[in-house]
Chains A and B, each alone.
Chain A
C-alpha cells in the first residue's frame, strides 16, 4: 500500500459507501471513524520505512502513478496530514449535532482528499485542477436542492475558476525559468501570474467579497468547513511553491507584498466587521482577517514568521468550528441571523450565544482566549518592522471586537420577564461546552498546541534553512 492511496484514494472510495446508509448517525459515525483512523495513521505510521509488528512486516510507499503523473506523500507530510484529518474529525463531530451529516460527510471527505491531492501532485500545476474539482464539489454542499444559489456562491465559483488560467500559465512560464534562470522578464511574468492566481484562490483583497455573502446565504457549518479547508490548504500550496522555487524565495519584494496584503485584509476585514448587522457576515469578515494574519506571518518570513503561521492554525480551526456550530444551532431556530432577529437569544440559546461571542472574541485576540497568544506574538514581531502597520492591525482587531460587543448586546436584549431556558439539546450543550473549554485552555496554555504543529516546518525544508 502507498501513502497517497491511504490518505487520498481511500477517503474518496469510502465516501461512495457513505451515500448508502440512510441513517445520519451511521454516516457520521463511519465518517468520524475513518478520519480518526487516518489521523492516527498519519501520527503513527512511517512512510518509506518498514514497520515490524511481530513476524508481520509492513511498508507504506510514498508515491503512486496517476495518469502518468505522481501523487507523492513523504514522511515530512505526516504532521500536515494529521492536522488536516484531525481537524476534519472535529468538523464531523460538530456535524453530528445538526442534521447536515448525510451530505456533508461524504462530500467533505472527497473535498479534503482532493485538497490533499493538490499538495501531493507533481508537477504542481496539476494542483489547481484538483482544487477546482473540490470547488465544484463544494457547490452542492453550499446550495442544497431547493435553495436559491445566491450571489456569494456565484462569486465563489467565478473567482475560484478564474484562478485556473493564471496557475496553468505560470506553470508554463516556470518551465521556461528552469531552463533560463537568469531571465528577469520571465520571472516577473511568472511572479505576476502566480500572484493573481493566489489572489483569486485565497480570496485576497479585493476579491474577498464572496466570503461575507456566502456566510450570509449558506449554512454556517458548511461555509465554516469550506472557509477552513480552502484557505488552509491554499496557504500550504503557496508555501510549497515558495519552498520549491529558489527564484520565488529570493524575490526581494515578496515579503513586502505579503505583509501589505495581510495588513490590508486584517484592517479592512476587521473594520467592515464592526458595521455588519448579520452574524454570518461578521464571521465571514473574521475569516478574512485570519487569512490576512496568515499572509502577514508568511510575509514576516524566516523561522519566526513561519512558526507563527503554524501557531495560528489550531486556534483558528477551533474558533471557527465553535463559531460555525453555534451559529448553525441558532440559525435552525430563527428566521435569520440579523442582529434584530437574534435579540434575546442569549436567554433561550445561552450555550450557542456564548459560543458565538467567545469565538468572535478569540478571533479578535481577547487575552486568555485561543487567538490571543499567536496574534500578540505577531504584533510584537511586526511592531519591530513597522509601527504604522501594527496600528492598522490593531484597528482591524478593534473592529472585530466591536462586532463581538454588538453581538453580545443583541443576545442580551431580552424582553422583560423572559426566563433563562437552554433550548439546545444535550449533545449540543456538551459540544459547545467542550469548545469553550478548548478556546480557554489554548489561551491559557498556548504551548500545548505546539505538540500539534511542531513537526510541520519539516514539510518545507528550504524555508527552515
Chain B
C-alpha cells in the first residue's frame, strides 16, 4: 500500500510541477502548489512524526492562502504576456521532460546517499529541477515566488531524511511563509503587473 502511495506521489509531483509550468492562470497555479504540499507532507512523514510533517502541509497551504487572498483582493486588468521567456507550451513540455529524465538518472544516487526511498528522492529532485526551470524562464515576481517555494519543497523532502530538528523545521516554515508574504507584497505593491 505504501509503495503504491509513494508511486502515486511521484505521479502527483510530475502532474503538479508540469501544471505549474504550463498553466498561467494564478488559480490553477495555486491549486497545483497546494497539491504539491500534499506530496511534501506525505514524503516527510516517512521520516518525521505525522504532527511535525503536518507543519509542512499547514505552512504550504497558508502560503497558498496568502498568495490567493492577495490575488483576489487586487484589481484584475487584461492579461499581460510575459516578454522575457519562451512562451510555447511545447517548449515548456519538452524542458519538463528533460528535467524528468535527468532527475530520474540522479534519483538513484541521491536515494542511496541520503537513505531515502527511490520515489521520495525522485519526487524531491523533480521539485527542485522544475522549480529551477521555473526560475530560469520567468521574470514575473509571482511566478518567481512559486518557483522558489517549489525548489524549497523539494529540498525539504531531502533534508527531512537527514535532520529532524524542530527548530530547523520551524525556521524553514518561517522562510516559506516569509516568501509567500513577499509574493503577496509584490502583488500588492505592483498589482498591474501580476494578473495571470
Contacts and interface: CB of A to CB of B under 8 A. Distances in A.
Nearest 3 CB-CB pairings of A with B: A129-B171, A136-B178, A165-B155
10 contacts: A67-B167, A67-B170, A125-B168, A133-B174, A136-B179, A145-B188, A147-B190, A154-B144, A157-B144, A162-B151
A287 B189 CA distance: 28
Interface in B154-193: 155, 158-159, 162-163, 166-168, 170-172, 174-175, 178-179, 181-182, 185-186, 188-190, 193
A139 B186 CA distance: 9
Best-surrounded residue of A69, A151, A154 (most CB of chain B within 10 A): A154
A427 interface: no
Nearest to B149: A161
A149 B144 CA distance: 11
B118 interface: no
A154 B179 contact: no
Q: Is the interface of B mostly helix, strand, loop or mixed?
A: helix
Nearest to B190: A148
B185 A139 contact: yes
B189 A143 contact: yes
A168 B189 contact: no
B141 A168 contact: no
Contacts of B175: 129, 132-133, 136, 161, 164
Interface string A128-149: 0100110010011001111111
Interface in A49-75: 67-69
Q: Is the interface of A mostly helix, strand, loop or mixed?
A: helix
A460 interface: no
A149 B189 contact: yes
B172 A129 contact: yes
Contacts of B139: 151, 154
Interface of B: 135, 139, 141, 144, 147-148, 151-152, 155, 158-159, 162-163, 166-168, 170-172, 174-175, 178-179, 181-182, 185-186, 188-190, 193
B179 to A, nearest CB: 7
Contacts of B171: 126, 129
A129 B168 CA distance: 8
B159 to A, nearest CB: 6
B167 A161 contact: no
A172 B155 CA distance: 13
B164 to A, nearest CB: 11
A132 B178 contact: yes
Nearest to A166: B155
Contacts of B170: 67
A158 interface: yes
A408 to B, nearest CB: 35
A169 interface: yes
Interface of A: 67-69, 125-126, 129, 132-133, 136, 139-140, 143-149, 151, 154, 157-158, 161-162, 164-165, 168-169, 172
Given A126-B168, A161-B148, 9 more contacts: A68-B167, A126-B167, A129-B175, A133-B175, A154-B144, A158-B135, A165-B152, A168-B155, A172-B162
A149 B167 contact: no
A309 B158 CA distance: 37
Contacts of B144: 154, 157-158
A359 B165 CA distance: 47
A146 B179 contact: no
Contact of B163 (A69, A139, A161, A168): A168
Contacts of B182: 136, 139, 157
Contact of A172 (B152, B163, B185): B163
A263 to B, nearest CB: 29
B179 A161 contact: yes
Contacts of B181: 136
Contacts of B174: 129, 133
Given A136-B178, A140-B185, A148 B193 contact: yes
Contacts of A147: 189-190
Best-surrounded residue of B158, B185, B188 (most CB of chain A within 10 A): B185
Contacts of B158: 169
A217 to B, nearest CB: 13
Nearest to A146: B189
A461 B139 CA distance: 45
B189 A145 contact: yes
A158 B148 contact: yes
Nearest to A158: B135
A164 B178 contact: no
A188 to B, nearest CB: 13
B110 to A, nearest CB: 11
Nearest to B186: A149
A164 B131 CA distance: 15
Nearest to A165: B155
Contacts of B172: 129
Best-surrounded residue of A147, A158, A161, A162 (most CB of chain B within 10 A): A161
B168 A168 contact: yes
Nearest to B189: A145
B179 A69 contact: no
Contacts of A125: 168
